[in-house]
Structure 1
Amino acid sequence: MPVMPTPPLPGRPGTPASPEVIEIERALTRVTYLSTRARQHDRLMALAGVPLDRAAVALLRHIAECEPLRPGELAQRLGVEASHVTRTVQQLDRSGHVRRVPDPRDGRAQRIELTHAGRSAVARIRDVGVRGMQAALTGWTPEELEHLASLFHRMVDDFLAHSFEEDGEPGPAQPTGTGG
């Protein structure tokens, strides 16, 4: 594979990116492309029996990973406009996957939580996704898989911390990875 010229890092003029970081970015771009194609999403949803669009699935999965949050908090954590979350929550509420519950700290506000149907949908989506990933990674040792999972969690935590540093805001209280 030819080595491309090293571009300077954003925010650090003249500091070139390492070849390893460039290769990681390229690999992540490929993974993102493969996992976010519409055809791939449609196939996953058909296998899981969940007729939701990509935005709804992303929000549903995020809600499953945390305590009930206000729509604005969900938007902040996902890095999207609040109006996108509001529309998607309305869709998920109509389909019976989420419900609005009073915020115990502020009776005027509402938080979004999964319903039984929402938890079931997330479980089916995860099951189909895990089975596909398991099939793709059959040649990997348990140690390699454990190491990769640890590195991915560490990378996501570092991305989150860095993205909030750039915004001048404290990072969200997120579950951390498996260490590293």
Structure 2
Amino acid sequence: MDAAHIVELEGALARVAYLLTRVRRHDYAMVKCGVTMDRASVPLLRVLADADEPMRLGELATRLDVEAPHVSRQIQRLEKAGYVERTPDPADGRAQRVRPTPEGRRAVDAVRDVLRNWMAEALADWSTEDLKALAVLNHRMVDGFLSHAEQIGDLGAAARESKPVRAD
């Protein structure tokens, strides 16, 4: 494996991560979609919206690879905003699970639409073939990262999330 290519890839991924998590970009997305939500709540609500059933807070913390108190604070904020609701856990009457409300699902959809449009505009001059190749290679890279994480016992959030449908 060529070390220079790994250095280039790491640098490119760092730039992408920076661009995708900038405060200004988040603020722009919130204004554009008419949603009020802090940056830390967006990934949490996305995970809940993608889940097949309500989730316990501990499971959310594990999926997002964050501490449980962080999830508790974010859930309180999302609940206060009307984006999530708590339901009793059928397996344990003392525990609660969380699910998005219809308003929470609308908020996630609105945020995703804005972010996808942003990406589409940024990549507008790319060919369909190049976009397809980029998607395939990104999925392959993530699968490699997950496989390596499994080998070393570091199965953070991404390993537990469902794999997106690929456009192969």
TM-score of the aligned structures, taking structure 2 as reference length: 0.86
Which residue of 2 is the match for residue 82 of structure 1?
A: 68
CA 1:54 to 1:169, structure 2 compared with 1: closer, same or farther past 3 Å?
closer
Larger Rg: 1
1:36 aligns with 2:21: yes
**Aligned equivalents of 2:153 and 2:7: distance in 1?**
23
Q: Deviations over 1:120-141 (max 9, x none)?
A: 0011101111111101111112
1:98 aligns with 2:76: no
**Aligned equivalents of 1:84 and 1:155: distance in 2?**
29
Pick from 26, 31, 37: which aligns with 1:46? 31
Which residue of 2 is the match for residue 55 of structure 1?
A: 40
Aligned with 1:139: secondary structure? coil
Aligned with 2:51: secondary structure? coil
Pick from 1, 4, 7: which aligns with 1:22? 7
CA-atom RMSD in angstroms: 2.3
Which residue of 2 is the match for residue 154 of structure 1?
A: 140
Which residue of 2 is the match for residue 7 of structure 1?
A: none
More displaced 10-residue stretch of structure 1: 85-94 or 104-113: 104-113
Amino acid across the alignment from 2:161: Q
**Aligned equivalents of 2:120 and 2:155: distance in 1?**
37
Amino acid across the alignment from 1:21: I
> Shift of residue 90 of structure 1?
0.7
- Cα pair 1:154 1:179 within 8 Å, conserved: no
Q: Percent identity?
A: 47
Which residue of 2 is the match for residue 4 of structure 1?
A: none
> Shift of residue 110 of structure 1?
1.6
**Aligned equivalents of 1:19 and 1:103: distance in 2?**
51
- The structure with more helix, counted as a fraction of residues: 2
**Aligned equivalents of 2:51 and 2:129: distance in 1?**
28
**Aligned equivalents of 2:5 and 2:154: distance in 1?**
28
More displaced 10-residue stretch of structure 1: 153-162 or 48-57: 153-162
CA 1:78 to 1:131, structure 2 compared with 1: closer, same or farther past 3 Å?
same
TM-score of the aligned structures, taking structure 1 as reference length: 0.81
Pick from 93, 113, 116: which aligns with 2:102? 116
| Correspondence 1:132-151 to 2 at 5 A | 132-151=118-137
Q: Gapped runs of 5+ residues in structure 2? A: none
> Shift of residue 151 of structure 1?
2.2
- Cα pair 2:63 2:160 within 8 Å, conserved: no
**Aligned equivalents of 2:41 and 2:99: distance in 1?**
14
> Shift of residue 48 of structure 1?
1.0
